[in-house]
Structure 1
């Protein structure tokens, strides 16, 4: 580069990756699909109040955002949403239906016209919501999941499969929506139809199970009048999680189930490729797709162990051929058309982009949301895939991102500060992909360690089940074990360790500060802090009984809920912390933070609380993310004694 390398203390390095740049690149394309020969997908717009737009790739390769602001293509079913749109060609022209976030109505859209509502608004509770649509243009309907609130409480809700007329006759008339199933099951996914249209398959589950605990694969005949016959359970159950179902071109039933301890692919109950790796994942969003059958009999699969590749499975031989290319992680969204497969892939050097694979040639290429290096890639972090040893000798998977900046080095003997990142879920996983929020810290000389603690997905059911009744214990122990191992091996400065996380990761952060002396400070983002209140009506329906498995049955172990809650043990927290919260969050509501802060009063622990108007669970607006990142860096600057003048000073109350 020809530039002199400066010797500067860790954490004080100048970096071209500022908070605005990190915020502008937050989020990624999702929900790919074909409309005729064209690929469409949703894409975030952080600078436009965090809305999601619908993108279209024309035949000539140009990309177009087909819905201008304020249209926001995003569902709120189970609050996390899911597949929010579907499209097809009718008389050679695209016809698309989508969910608009503010009112949750389904809309019909044809390019060149204004979207028209297909569903009514309900004044009851959270209203009427829709997700995972399938167009049935021959019947003049769209089939999807209907979530209907029956009262004002977060759990006053029912979910059914429903058919919505495409002619708009239900836009003001709830009775014009045709219910396809009853509401005997609390949760359902959208229907998948057999090639001949005579059978429909979907997934269902009930409280207190989460979909990764156990789901049922439902099958029903479709009558000539478009009604469903009596559904029957053909796979799955309380102890087996079916993550996805679909029909192959020959009418056989394909599904991903974990009866062996790994989500593997089955055809009519027969394993296609038995391996100790995952061909499915946690169903946090309705309509996630880890596999997609091709017309010729092959199956596109997103699979792997601790990472996910895009491959093509031959069901006759059980062989999988993975896509060649730089991508090391694929998101759970797939679409197929003829011999073409479209997914969303990323790597440690590139953010998520829309990737197309031609199965005839084996060639893969980026066709949408192409990664563009906003700064010189020499500033990107260089991750290490590590396995650490935790209590009882158990394995802990982690990604370690050492400080990295080509223009800076630290004085000889100095060790860097490190921040342990705890992912959300907790049934989830930190993927190994380029994240400019991580680069924001590593390029300044602060290391990051993302810990896939016990309970994380991607490593089989036994690893996932380590967290059963152990939330606030195993996750905390695993994060601490990684932090202390980094210090012991001379990678990190023992006196300058921090912990941070959002949602369930916010819980792990707060619990870590309350029960260990490992960390000098922490950043707690839209957290759970009070288990008893959260488990008795303070959250949304989907997770309202999640704690029954994560902590234990509340009726049997109420003391455990109290004992593990950071809000009950404010006196144990002595390290400075930053608390960040969205005021519109119905999953981890602000009341959790407010009670916790009230108990911290007078304790003389330096802390700051920033609440953001208009933000829900997961920050989406660029201005929010900028303020949050800069506040977090200011906390570390003050606690670790760093020399930085490029961010506003966070006022810490005592």
Structure 2
């Protein structure tokens, strides 16, 4: 082995390999026995392609220039569905809903916008075969205002193209429309400002007439302003609805009986069976038969897969070599899902429940199969550590690893603290080549699940209430201090980095705490007040919960905004931003960059054309990875890294 300082190791995990050999695997679906999924391809400028499995072949269903992606709620998800071999998808460039039969040219189901950006957007669709309708979430941007109207809508499939017809209205947001097996009733979720869907949602049922119009008043099934409901699904016999609620303090399963209007808890457990609904199309469970589901849940920051008997409430874990699961779909004995582990990339997997055998259908990257790279993969270690007010926080720690290198005796590695976005999200344990990019060079990584993160119950999530910029910052600092006190990292060479809300925590940590020696902000918030005043509808009242109502709490917003405390920030910072970002507009980042440059700070700034909130183009992803590494190596770590 080569003896060399931490941070100076040569790594086979290069940025060009990462982007050249990686795709995004998002939603997988079953249509009878046929399997479909969506691939996000950086090499095609981030185009989202629906793929069908045909024997051993993978066939692209959506051809260029079509891209199955939506911007409903800005974050999208649920842009497509498949029914009886026919694909229905929202196209990213025009927002139009399309239908595609086999290899035929896609047919527009809704009119094209009269002006770019001033049309309808669609998501979370299902097919009503009885009435020949597409039913889903519609977001009306025809007026071109920043706060469009949201509805449950129907699109007539027999008379294309046709304008959407509104089924449910009157609330700020809608999601998860599901038809009963007989097609007579529709359930869906709604919520109003200032709530986000993980704060409080309402599950409602309404009868539909022969045309698909609401018949009578909707019936409230569950939820409210302080109860979050997730993924309602009809019981296979149509007698009621299965859903996930956090009314116990944990996202657990409940059934609602239509005849008796009674709710019953299924398998009460201090475990999370639900997720924050940042995007549409999330699925943590699916029916195997009338009385059994397969589901995923989170414990200690790691995911598990199990079957759950609805009658007896028995949870039976399934042994698989994965620690992160999502997009669960089932069809009798077959289950398909997205899965990954620290040494296994995000993959689409088919599981036969009877035999327990699983088959990998697709991988986000094949790089982990290369022996030289596999030998460098660092495994996530879930850690729990003390933080403020006598509480504990959680994180995933990745120590440096490279089969060809060892560090000199007595040396501790530099540390990169990673802050996930959201902030109501969670660190994921699936293979991240972005994390391994650092660890294989001799740089440790701490992926923090600070207070406010999901996966640890509602009380943990609620720690961030009115405390954004405080609790998250403290938990990041205390995680790094904990590792330094254990002798696992060099406390004098620690940086912090994050995207979106994680970028805000990064800048707040650098401005308000004297611990980290530098950081990186990826499309991060620097001015909380500007975010409250100049962001999209979905998040426009989120700040009420995170900090307080604006402008009533303007002084507190100023106190929490790094842009107003540049005098306290004297560490090197690098910034990355998309020029089409509607969540964190470029002017926020540029105000921070200009202010730091004016006071002589070491600053890097990359503005990527054609990118929104998050980067999807291969060249930009590669450039951001390398730039951040070299910036820290030169400005903070002093590792002797070769350029």
Kept in 1, the 8 Å contact 2:24–2:364? The answer is: no
C-alpha distance in structure 1 between counterparts of 2:88 and 2:369, whole Å: 34
**2:351: which partner in 1?**
357
**2:209: which partner in 1?**
223
Match of 1:99 among 67, 85, 90: 90
Please tell me the root mean square deviation across aligned C-alpha atoms, in Å. 1.5
C-alpha distance in structure 2 between counterparts of 1:554 and 1:218, whole Å: 31
**When the two structures are aligned, how many residues end up with a matched partner?**
629
- Classify 1:141/1:616 alpha carbon distance in 2 versus 1 (closer, same or farther; 3 Å): same
Query: Which of 553-562 and 490-499 deviates more?
Result: 553-562
Kept in 1, the 8 Å contact 2:23–2:365? The answer is: no
**Are residues 1:290 and 2:290 paired?**
no
**2:127: which partner in 1?**
135
- Classify 1:382/1:34 alpha carbon distance in 2 versus 1 (closer, same or farther; 3 Å): closer
Match of 2:548 among 540, 552, 555: 552
C-alpha distance in structure 2 between counterparts of 1:465 and 1:585, whole Å: 28
Kept in 1, the 8 Å contact 2:596–2:603? The answer is: no
- Classify 1:105/1:190 alpha carbon distance in 2 versus 1 (closer, same or farther; 3 Å): farther
Q: CA deviation at 1:126?
A: 4.5
**1:249: which partner in 2?**
236
Kept in 1, the 8 Å contact 2:120–2:142? The answer is: no
**Are residues 1:66 and 2:61 paired?**
yes
The SS at the match of 1:189 is strand
Kept in 1, the 8 Å contact 2:40–2:48? The answer is: yes
Query: Which of 510-519 and 348-357 deviates more?
Result: 348-357
The SS at the match of 1:209 is coil
**2:390: which partner in 1?**
393
**Are residues 1:496 and 2:493 paired?**
yes
Equivalences for residues 109-258 of structure 1 within 5 A:
109-123=100-114, 126-155=118-147, 157-167=148-158, 169-171=159-161, 173-174=162-163, 177-181=164-168, 183-229=169-215, 230-251=217-238, 252-258=240-246
C-alpha distance in structure 1 between counterparts of 2:358 and 2:319, whole Å: 7
Query: Which of 125-134 and 369-378 deviates more?
Result: 369-378
The SS at the match of 1:552 is coil
Query: Which of 311-320 and 361-370 deviates more?
Result: 361-370
**1:638: which partner in 2?**
634
Kept in 2, the 8 Å contact 1:636–1:642? The answer is: no
The SS at the match of 1:270 is strand
- What is the CA deviation profile of residues 499-534 of structure 1, one whole-angstrom value per residue up to 9, with x for unaligned ones? 000000000000011011111110110011111111
Query: Which of 387-396 and 221-230 deviates more?
Result: 221-230
Q: CA deviation at 1:375?
A: 3.4
C-alpha distance in structure 1 between counterparts of 2:567 and 2:364, whole Å: 49
Kept in 2, the 8 Å contact 1:25–1:436? The answer is: no
- What is the CA deviation profile of residues 165-202 of structure 1, one whole-angstrom value per residue up to 9, with x for unaligned ones? 223x342x43xx22212x21110014101111111101
Kept in 2, the 8 Å contact 1:34–1:88? The answer is: no
Long gaps (5+) in structure 2: 257-262
| TM-score normalised by L of structure 1 | 0.94
Query: Which of 621-630 and 301-310 deviates more?
Result: 301-310
Kept in 2, the 8 Å contact 1:143–1:190? The answer is: no
- What is the CA deviation profile of residues 265-289 of structure 1, one whole-angstrom value per residue up to 9, with x for unaligned ones? 0011210110000111101112211
- What is the CA deviation profile of residues 184-223 of structure 1, one whole-angstrom value per residue up to 9, with x for unaligned ones? 1110014101111111101000000000000000100122
| TM-score normalised by L of structure 2 | 0.95
- What is the CA deviation profile of residues 309-346 of structure 1, one whole-angstrom value per residue up to 9, with x for unaligned ones? 22211011111222222111102x12222332211111
Kept in 2, the 8 Å contact 1:150–1:158? The answer is: no
Kept in 2, the 8 Å contact 1:387–1:396? The answer is: yes
C-alpha distance in structure 2 between counterparts of 1:400 and 1:247, whole Å: 40
Q: CA deviation at 1:352?
A: 1.2
C-alpha distance in structure 2 between counterparts of 1:490 and 1:614, whole Å: 43
C-alpha distance in structure 1 between counterparts of 2:579 and 2:486, whole Å: 41
- What is the CA deviation profile of residues 351-393 of structure 1, one whole-angstrom value per residue up to 9, with x for unaligned ones? 1111122233333322333763253211111221111111122
**2:259: which partner in 1?**
none
